């Protein structure tokens, strides 16, 4: 169910309905509990992974690639209201550019365009250090003051406990748990093989791709104290979501 509601089960339910000649609403209601339970299990899994491997050599503490201590040192910034405002305007500008690009290429989410734009700007070293610091300040203010409010809103508005309770059978729970565990293990093993920290890949790929998309990413990463990985999580969600939609369409067409 990677991709969440809007970029996951909504288009997937349309694909299933078109290929299987079924009712999209009924199919959506069957997929929604899987997304909800998967998100809950992913949050629990992320917390457990972070706690169990807190002091192990496999833990990168929010950093994907092993680096030395000097590279991990961050410049301490003194918050300045005017510079926070500059950072906010720059962040909103990138967001608007992502929305504009999405209008021309609707199949790619605006968030994905945002990440690509930021990646290109960073790779080309096109943003002055002073402006980068302004954006960092804005990020610190948002993450410190608004994360818990956002999570409360997610819990109240997006998790339908009634629908989830009706779908709670042991087979359903076992399948959801199998998905979370297998993806977490596979991500950790492959991450280790390519030189990444297994804890970060297990959370940033395995748990993230069992969440409810963008809002689920925030819940998973904040619970495991790894919000620095939000850009990687969003990109992984979008890419994996697109792959699942393609595979879902192919498999559904075989069942016609």
Higher pLDDT residue, 191 or 216?
191
Contacts of 212 (CB under 8 A, 6+ apart): 4, 5, 35, 36, 38, 39, 154, 158, 219
Angle at 217 between CA 161 and CA 102, to 5 degrees: 110
Q: Which of 66, 57, 38, 36 lies closest to 182, judged by CA?
A: 38
Query: How many Cβ atoms from other residues are within 10 Å of residue 177's Cβ?
Result: 14
Q: Give me the mean pLDDT over the 190-216 stretch.
A: 89
What does the pLDDT look like over 22-58, one tens digit per residue? Answer: 887 778 777 878 888 888 899 999 999 999 998 888 9
Distance CA 110, CA 95 (A): 8
Residue 209 sits at the vertex; the CA angle it makes with 28 and 156, to the nearest 5 degrees, is 60
Hey, what are 122's tokens? 């960073």
Averaged pLDDT for residues 178-203: 93
How many Å is the Cα radius of gyration of the chain? 19
- Percentage of residues in the chain with pLDDT exceeding 90? 24
Structure token digits, residue 106? 């609707």
Structure token digits, residue 15: 């694909």
Asked if pLDDT for residue 118 goes beyond 80, the answer is yes
- How far from the centroid of its chain's Cα atoms is residue 18's Cα? 28
**Distance separating alpha carbons of residues 26 and 58, to the nearest angstrom:** 43
| pLDDT value of residue 203 | 93
Instruction: Tell me the C-alpha distance between 4 and 210, whole Å.
Output: 8
Q: Say which residues have a Cβ less than 8 Å from residue 99's Cβ, sequence separation at least 6.
A: 110
pLDDT tens digits, one per residue of 132-182: 889 888 877 877 777 667 667 656 665 566 766 777 788 888 998 999 999
Domain boundaries, the chain: 5-254
Residue with tokens 């508005």: 157
Predicted confidence (pLDDT) per residue in 55-101, tens digit: 888 998 888 887 665 655 566 667 788 888 999 999 999 999 989 99
* Contact predicate 253/18, CB 8 Å: no
Distance CA 106, CA 94 (A): 17
Through-space distance between the first and last CA atoms of the chain, rounded to whole angstroms: 22
């Amino acid at each position: 169910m990677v991709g969440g509601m809007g970029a996951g089960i909504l288009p997937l339910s349309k694909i299933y309905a078109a290929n299987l000649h079924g009712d999209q609403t009924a199919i959506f209601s069957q997929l929604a509990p899987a997304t909800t339970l998967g998100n809950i299990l992913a949050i629990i899994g992320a917390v457990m992974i972070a706690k169990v491997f807190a002091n192990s050599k496999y833990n990168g503490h929010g950093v994907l690639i092993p680096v030395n201590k000097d590279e991990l040192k961050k410049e301490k910034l003194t918050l300045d209201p005017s510079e926070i405002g500059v950072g906010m305007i720059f962040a909103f500008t990138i967001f608007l550019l992502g929305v504009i690009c999405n209008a021309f290429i609707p199949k790619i989410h605006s968030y994905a365009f945002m990440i690509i734009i930021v990646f290109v700007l960073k790779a080309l070293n096109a943003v002055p250090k002073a402006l980068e610091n302004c954006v960092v300040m804005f990020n610190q203010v948002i993450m410190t003051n608004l994360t818990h409010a956002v999570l409360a809103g997610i819990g109240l508005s997006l998790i339908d406990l009634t629908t989830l309770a009706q779908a709670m059978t042991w087979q359903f729970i076992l399948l959801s748990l199998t998905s979370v565990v297998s993806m977490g293990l596979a991500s950790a093993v492959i991450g280790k093989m390519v030189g990444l920290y297994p804890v970060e890949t297990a959370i940033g790929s395995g748990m993230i791709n069992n969440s409810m998309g963008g809002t689920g990413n925030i819940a998973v990463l904040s619970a495991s104290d790894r919000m620095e990985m939000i850009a990687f999580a969003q990109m992984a969600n979008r890419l994996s979501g697109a792959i699942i939609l393609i595979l879902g369409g192919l498999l559904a067409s075989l069942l016609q």
